[in-house]
Amino acid sequence: MIEAQPLRPYPRATTRALLGLYNLVWPLAMPALALSRRMRDGWRERVLLNGPEGPVDIWMQAASAGEAYLAEELLMALPDDKPLRVLVTSGTRQGMDILAKACEKAASKPMLATRQAFFPLDMPALMDMAMKRFSPRLMVILETELWPGLLWAARKNEIPAIIVNGRMSASSLGGYMAAGSFLRDIAPERVLAIAGTSAKRFSLVFGSDRVEEMQNIKFDRCPLEAAQPAPDAPVARILGNAAPLAIFGSVRSKEETEVVRAIARVREARPDALTALFPRHMHRLDFWAKALYEAGLPVVLRSQLTETPPAGTTVLWDAFGELGAAYGFASAAFVGGSLHPLGGQNFLEPLIHGVTPVIGPHWKNFDWIGREIIDCGLVHEVTDADALADQLIRNLNQPEPRESVRDRATRYIAERRGGTAQAAACIARYL
């Protein structure tokens, strides 16, 4: 157990004044919040009229879906040597649904008792009530939830707060630095920040003495092996004899024009190749069928196939859940959501299946994977549709051996694992 630290001096007068103003703003905003569709879901829990009672050992806050998956990893990694009561909270319905499944999974741990609730509004007075009601021994905040009311209430009630899997973008850093003295007055006890840039940014805000580097927990969630479809599975019957095969996966509507052009370029260069197109949203199927036909590209729906179609055909995929398996047959693959500022899609999936993916320049939602994956050649980044077609053609002409891609991808992920165990060990030291 970590020994109790001396209580930091009470916040300066300026910080107290800002917290007072922040507390006054909330009652003005609450009527509108209560009427909003997102916030009225779980409203009584958000204002502490309903919800679980304490005491608990750990209060773990997961902002939304992504953080909720991290909470699941942490719950399963907590020590089993003594009983632990854990409250998990989230601010969104999606996060709550994921936490519900995480709590069901955690029920397999006999020493762990979990409960969940919506995250309270960050009004300082309300957060003070929450800390007193839940009475946690430790507050665990996943990723970057620098809520002033929460941090102040934890400090006021002498409850250590730690940030786990801390991430901070360049744009966020500017705002946090502007509020530097205010944030330092209510700073968490410890920040376990993603190694590299995020850790350096947290050190600038809170001081390097509070920051410890860790690997991203998300790597612990990445599979190291891909499930292979049965030989008689539909995807295997359709694509198993297709060589070479180019896949356009998770393509978003804003990329449609560019992707049609890229498909045409690929077909022109490699008329012997088969193309499989997986739109991100099924309601765009009619558009795709029309656009490909008007571009003079042979197209057939996957639902109309029972075997491999002729070379030069584009298979328009109208079935869910088969993209991952399809990557296992590809020689080249584009992962969509990345030609425009749409956040990107999961480009580790094709890697684990042994194909080097091509992505556009916009993959903010997956920047946690690290730019090193581009630098080492495991992923190819392109700027536009023409560069995309050029790279796919190169990959079709000279595909890297599938086992080599798998081995390099597995090694990349394995070297970055271990964040969950590190975070769980840190949590255990406070209990």
Q: Catalytic residue positions?
A: 67
Please calculate the CA angle 420-422-427 and round it to the nearest 5 degrees: 95
DSSP character string of 300-341: EEGGG-SSPPPTT-EEE--SSS-HHHHHTT-SEEEESSTTTT
Residue 389 tokens, joined: 């077609």
CA distance 187 to 167: 16
Strand partners, 357: 333
Question: DSSP class of residue 200?
Answer: H
Question: Which 8-state DSSP code applies to residue 179?
Answer: T
As given in the structure block, the two tokens for residue 260 are 């049609």
CA distances from 323 to 187, 227, 231, 236, 347 (A): 44, 12, 16, 12, 12
CA-wise closest residue to 55 among 86, 99, 90, 91: 86
